[in-house]
Structure 1
Amino acid sequence: MARLSGYQSRGVLHPQEAGALRKAASRLFAGQNKAETCRWMNREGYRTTFGNEWVPEVLTRVLSHPRMAGLDSDGNPIEDFGATVLTPDEYRRVLALFAEQRSQQPEAREAFEYLLTDGEAECGSCQHAMVGTRVTGDADPSYRCPPPRARQPSCGRVRMNADRLEDSVTEEVLAELLRPGAQEHLARLLADIRAEAERLKEHIAGAEKRFEELRNMRNVLVAAAYAAAEKATKDDLRQSRNRLRFLEQMTDLPIDGVTNLVEWWNSAPRSSQRALVCVEIAKVRVLAVGRGRHRDPSERIEIEWRT
C-alpha cells in the first residue's frame, strides 16, 4: 500500500509534506479553490508520494483521509496514533468545505455524441480537422478549429454550433439519398469500403513479415537509413490500423431493406447515423462567418461527396 502523504509511517510525520498539507488546508479555509492551491503547491516544489504534481482530485482524496487527523474509518480517534497532519476539528472543517463545494457544483452535463469528429469536419480557412467542444461548461456543443500550437498548423478562428452544422449536413445527406439511383450508389460505395477494409486487414497481417525482412537488412544499411525505414514501416502500420478502424465504422451499416431513410435516421443509433454520413461524405468544410453573411447555416458548409 502506498504511503499516505504527510506521514513517514503511522503517527510519524514527514515534515515537508505535513507542512505543505497544513498550508494547503489553510489556503482552502481562506477561500482559495483547490486548483489554485494545487498550483501554489506545485510552484513551491511540493509533490505527491509518487513524485507527481498535485491536482485537485488527489488533494481532495488526501485531505479527506481520516488518518490526516488520526481517525479510523468511522471517525473515531485511533488510540496511541501519534502526531497528525490535521487536528480533528480541522479535518471536519475540510470535509464540510468539500461537501459544500460539491453541492455548489452544477450537475454534470450529459456527454454529447458528435456526428463529424472523425476528421469529416474541416476548417474552411486552414483545412485542419475540427474538434467537438464546448466554449464554456454550460455552453451548447460546437465544432471548432483548435487554437494553433507547436507542430499544429490550425488557425483556431472558425467555430459553429453542433446543432446548426449537423442539421445542415443531415439535410444534405438525406436529400442526396432520396435522389433516383442513390441507393444503388450507396451500395457501390459500401462495397468499395468493404473491399478496402479487407485489403487493409491483409496488409496489417503482413506487418510482422515486413518488420522481419527489415531486421534482416540491418547489417547492410547505414544506421540512419535503417532508422528511417523502420520509422516509415511503423508509421505505415499505425496509419493502416487507424484507417481500418475508421472504415469498420461503416462496413456494418444496417440499411438493407430500409425504404424510408428519414424515418430510419430519426430512430437510428448515433453510430449508425455517423456511419451513413461517413459513407456518403468525404469531407465537410466549415466556412468562417462573413460580415452580414451566412445567416443560413447551410451557406457555411461545403460538402465533398464520395464518388
Structure 2
Amino acid sequence: MRCYGYDETGREVIEPEAAVIRDVVKRVLDGESMRSTVADLRAREIMTSAGRPWTQQSLSRLLRNPRLAGLRTYHGEVVGKGQWAPIIDEATHKRLLDLLDAPERKQPHATNQRKYLLSGGFLVCGFPLEDEGNGTHRCGKPLYTQPSNSGKRGYVCRAGSPSYGCGRIRIAAESLEEEVAARALARLASPKVRARLERAVGSVMKGEETMQEVLQAIEDRLVEAGQAYAKREISLVTLTAIEAEAKREQKAVREWIAQAQRLRAVPAMTPEGLAEWWVDALLERRRELLALVLDRIIVKPATRAGQVQLDVDRLEFVWK
C-alpha cells in the first residue's frame, strides 16, 4: 500500500495530499488533539491512500512515518536519506515523534491485561442501518468494552474512535459472558466437536515443526531481499513489495501456530472436565478456548424495552 502523500513508486509527491499532511502536522504541533483532527478529516471526507476514513491509529502511523521527512528505513530502522522529496523537514519529524511519544499522552492506568471475556472482536454490532436504496444493512462494527456510569462492565458500539460505529448498541457484560460460556462449553463437550478438535490436535502435532521452518524461510527471504537492495540489484518498490507479501505470510503462519498452541492446551473434553477447568482458568486461557469454536456474536437491538435479564433473542451466534 502506498504511503499517503506519495505515488505508487514512493518517490513522487502528490501535492494535494502533501498539503493535507502539512496542515495536520501544524495543527497537531499547535496542540490540537488527534481525535479532533481525525473528526475534521472525516467531516471533509478526506480518505486514506486505501480509500478508507481516517482513524486516530492510521493518522498516528502516518505522522510517525520517516518517509515524510525524506528518511529511508530498513526493518523499521532509519538507515539514511532517501532519494525522494520530503513533505516535512527532519526537525519537524522529530518534534512530532517527541510529541506523540510524550508520557503525558499515555493513559496513566492503561494495561494490556484483558478484563472482559469477549473483547477483541468476538462481538459485532447488529443494529440495522438504512441504505441509500431504502434497504437496511447491519452496522457491523466491533463492540468495545466500556463500563456504565455506575461502573458496571459492558460492551458498546462506539460512535467515535476507533471504530466510528452507529453508537446505538450497548449490552451488559456479566450476564452475556455467562451465557456465552455456558453455550461454548456445551458445544465443546459435544461428541461431534470433540472429534473434530481431536483430529485437529493430531494434525497440529505433525505440522507445527513445518510451520516453524516456513517462518524461518520467510525470514531468510527477507534478509536476501535486503542484501539485494543494498547491492542495488532490486529497486525500493520491489523490496517493499517483497516485505509486504512476507508480512502477510508471517501473519498467516503465526495465526496457525497460535491456533496450534490453543489446541494443545485443550482440557479434558467432557462436560465435567471442561466446567472444572473453566472455573480456575485465567481469562486469556478461557478466551483461547472460546476461539476454538466461536467466530463472533452479532448483538442486535433489545427486543423488549426495560429488560433487566439478558435478552437472548438479540444474540446471533456464529460458530466455527
Alpha-carbon distance between aligned partners in 1 of 2:194 and 2:253, rounded to the nearest angstrom: 29
Residue 121 of structure 1 deviates from its aligned partner by: 2.5
Contact 1:168–1:297 (8 Å) recurs in 2: no
Quick one: percent identity of the two aligned structures?
A: 22
- 1:25-36 matches, cutoff 5 A: none
Structure 2 regions of 5+ residues with no counterpart?
1-30, 33-97, 107-112, 127-137
Residue 281 of structure 1 deviates from its aligned partner by: 1.4
- 1:139-288 matches, cutoff 5 A: 139-149=151-161, 152=163, 154-191=165-202, 198-215=209-226, 218=229, 219=232, 221-238=234-251, 240-241=253-254, 244-245=257-258, 248-255=261-268, 259-288=272-301
Give CA-to-partner distance per residue, 1:53-72, whole Å, 9 cap, x none.
79499xxxxxxxxxxxxxxx
Contact 1:253–1:272 (8 Å) recurs in 2: no
- Counterpart for residue 93 of structure 1: none
The structure 1 segments of at least 4 consecutive aligned residues displaced by more than 6 Å after TM superposition are 50-54
The alignment partner of 2:171 has SS state of strand
- Counterpart for residue 11 of structure 2: none
TM-score (norm 2): 0.50
Report the CA distance shift for 1:222/1:270 in structure 2 as closer, same or farther (over 3 A): closer
Alpha-carbon distance between aligned partners in 2 of 1:275 and 1:224, rounded to the nearest angstrom: 38
Contact 2:267–2:274 (8 Å) recurs in 1: no
The alignment partner of 1:134 has SS state of coil
Residue 115 of structure 1 deviates from its aligned partner by: 1.5
- 1:90-105 matches, cutoff 5 A: none
Contact 2:302–2:311 (8 Å) recurs in 1: no
Residue 293 of structure 1 deviates from its aligned partner by: 9.9
Alpha-carbon distance between aligned partners in 1 of 2:122 and 2:207, rounded to the nearest angstrom: 18
Larger-gyration structure (1/2): 1
The alignment partner of 1:127 has SS state of coil
RMSD: 4.1
Report the CA distance shift for 1:213/1:142 in structure 2 as closer, same or farther (over 3 A): same
- Counterpart for residue 115 of structure 2: 113
Residue 256 of structure 1 deviates from its aligned partner by: 6.0
Report the CA distance shift for 1:228/1:158 in structure 2 as closer, same or farther (over 3 A): farther
The alignment partner of 1:176 has SS state of helix
Report the CA distance shift for 1:154/1:173 in structure 2 as closer, same or farther (over 3 A): same
Alpha-carbon distance between aligned partners in 2 of 1:196 and 1:281, rounded to the nearest angstrom: 23
The alignment partner of 2:168 has SS state of coil
Contact 2:184–2:293 (8 Å) recurs in 1: yes
Residue 236 of structure 1 deviates from its aligned partner by: 3.8
Give CA-to-partner distance per residue, 1:241-299, whole Å, 9 cap, x none.
46644653443223267744334433444333223211121222222335659874322
2:317 corresponds to 1:303? yes
Contact 1:173–1:277 (8 Å) recurs in 2: yes
Contact 1:189–1:279 (8 Å) recurs in 2: no
Alpha-carbon distance between aligned partners in 1 of 2:200 and 2:255, rounded to the nearest angstrom: 19
Structure 1 regions of 5+ residues with no counterpart?
1-41, 44-49, 58-110
Alpha-carbon distance between aligned partners in 2 of 1:126 and 1:247, rounded to the nearest angstrom: 32
Contact 1:282–1:304 (8 Å) recurs in 2: yes
2:124 corresponds to 1:122? yes
Alpha-carbon distance between aligned partners in 2 of 1:286 and 1:195, rounded to the nearest angstrom: 38
Give CA-to-partner distance per residue, 1:199-218, whole Å, 9 cap, x none.
54333222221103433554
